Amino acid sequence: MKCYKHPEEDAVGICSKCGRGICTQCAEISNGKLICKDCLKTKILIPKRLKAYSLVGAIIGWLGFVNSTLLGTYIALYCLRFASLDPSFLRKAYIVGIIATASAFTLLYGGYLIWRGRIRRGGTLNLIAGTTTTILYLYFTFGFPLLGQLGPMGYLLLVPALMSGLIGILISKRNRRS
């Protein structure tokens, strides 16, 4: 068998990720397995001690998805309730629905990215989505006092999305140092 990148060289092994033959110039060892340099570039290596943190970040991101969905639904229903008194509330309900849905699915995708090892990207997405949900909630809490009836519980519902984003970013910085 010949090397996939250097056809004139004999292969010394097979890449454990892509299955192609690799020569001594292309071969690398990662986690005790032979891997080609191309696969090594695309593979995100996470030390074992950080895998638990990334799982926690992903779970918190998914919890943020649930919370963002609940808050968005609550605010949209609040707006729909007052749409008969003021037609602008109907428009606000649609806007809230769109923003909350986008934020919720961004959290879902960000949690997935963190879980799959794309920690920095997932953390950044979750931080953006959490910040968007927070701004949306604060706008309606301070602009419309009746929405404040959730009290401190409303603010606690905002925490997982922001925490997931911060955990993702901190883990990725820690991963780069080690």
**CA nearest 94: which of 77, 106, 111?**
77
Q: pLDDT digit string (tens) for 117-163?
A: 778 888 888 889 888 888 888 888 777 765 666 667 767 777 787 78
Q: How far is CA 27 from CA 32, 40, 41, in A?
A: 12, 10, 12
Global pTM reads 0.64
Percent of the chain whose pLDDT exceeds 90 = 8
Q: Tell me the mean pLDDT in the region 29-53.
A: 71
Q: pLDDT digit string (tens) for 18-37?
A: 788 999 898 888 777 888 88
pLDDT in the model for residue 39: 79
pLDDT in the model for residue 175: 55
Q: What angle do CA 151, 154, 159 make, to 5 degrees?
A: 135
Concatenated DSSP letters of 21-85: EE-TTTEEEETTEEEEHHHHHHPPP--HHHHHHHHHHHHHHHHHHHHHHHHHHHHHHHHHHTTTT
pLDDT at 177 over 60: no
**What b/e readout covers 9-42, taking b as 16+ CB neighbours within 10 angstroms?**
bebebbbebeebbbbeebbeeeeeebbbebbbee
